[in-house]
């Protein structure tokens, strides 16, 4: 009876834990940094249906300083199109974000220049090691009576020296 209980109940439960995504874990470990260059995927449109009809989206780039004690400096926010051509430099001079501060940059839905492979490059730095900011793009669009929204998280591609 005990052997049957093990195979009927415990094995399926153990198998379930093998397939739980790692993203459901409670906490990410974060390494302190003095600065990074971040690549952030963005989509000014995506495709739907068999005819690959474009679904146009508003893109918001969000930069959030999650360090509780130190400001960070945002030195570059550039927007690129699918082929890698620079479309817009969003800042002319550095912007400082206080602890828990955030800033956003919006690409309107009517701006179709970025394409389905658009992206941002963001450079930030700090005078002291800090928790790296959360940098993500948020895409949202509505057509007829249908709406879609999703996010893309930025990824460090270089560290400041």
Q: For strands 134-143 and 58-64, give the pairing.
A: antiparallel
Any idea where the domains of the chain sit in the sequence?
Answer: 33-159
Residue 146 vs residues 102, 141, 142, 143, 154: alpha-carbon distances, Å? 30, 8, 6, 5, 27
DSSP-based three-state secondary structure for 46? strand
Q: What is the Cα–Cα distance from 8 to 141, expressed in whole angstroms?
A: 47
Cβ proximity of 72 and 100 under 8 Å: no
Q: What is the pLDDT along the chain (161 residues), one digit of tens a residue?
A: 555 554 555 555 545 555 555 444 445 667 999 999 999 999 999 988 888 889 999 999 999 999 999 999 999 999 999 999 999 999 999 999 999 999 999 999 999 999 999 999 999 999 999 999 999 999 999 888 888 999 999 999 998 76
Handedness of CA 39, 157, 152, 68 (dihedral sign): negative
Q: Is 64 left (phi over 0), alpha (psi -120 to 50) or beta?
A: beta
Beta bridge partners of 73: 96, 125
Cβ proximity of 78 and 121 under 8 Å: yes
pTM for the model stands at 0.80
Q: Which residue has 């941002």 as its token pair? A: 120
Closest to 42 (Cα-Cα) out of 121, 142, 152: 152
Let me know how long the chain is.
161
The CATH H-level superfamily of 33-159 is: TM1070-like (2.60.290.11)
Q: What is the Cα–Cα distance from 76 to 91, expressed in whole angstroms?
A: 6
- The tokens describing 6, both together, are 């093990």
């Amino acid at each position: 009876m005990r052997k049957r209980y093990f195979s009927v109940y415990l094995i399926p439960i153990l198998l379930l834990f093998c397939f739980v995504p790692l993203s459901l874990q409670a906490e990410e470990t974060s390494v302190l940094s003095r600065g990074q260059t971040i690549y952030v995927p963005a989509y000014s449109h995506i495709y739907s249906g068999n005819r690959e009809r474009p679904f146009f989206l508003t893109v918001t780039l969000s930069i959030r300083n999650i360090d509780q004690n130190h400001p960070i400096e945002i030195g570059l926010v550039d927007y690129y199109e699918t082929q890698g051509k620079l479309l817009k430099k969003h800042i002319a001079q550095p912007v400082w974000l206080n602890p828990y501060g955030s800033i956003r940059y919006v690409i309107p839905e009517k701006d179709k220049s970025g394409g389905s492979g658009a992206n941002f490059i963001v450079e930030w730095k700090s005078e002291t090691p800090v928790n790296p900011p959360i940098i993500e793009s948020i895409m949202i669009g509505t057509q007829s009576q249908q709406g879609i929204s999703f996010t893309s998280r930025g990824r460090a591609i270089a560290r400041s020296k």
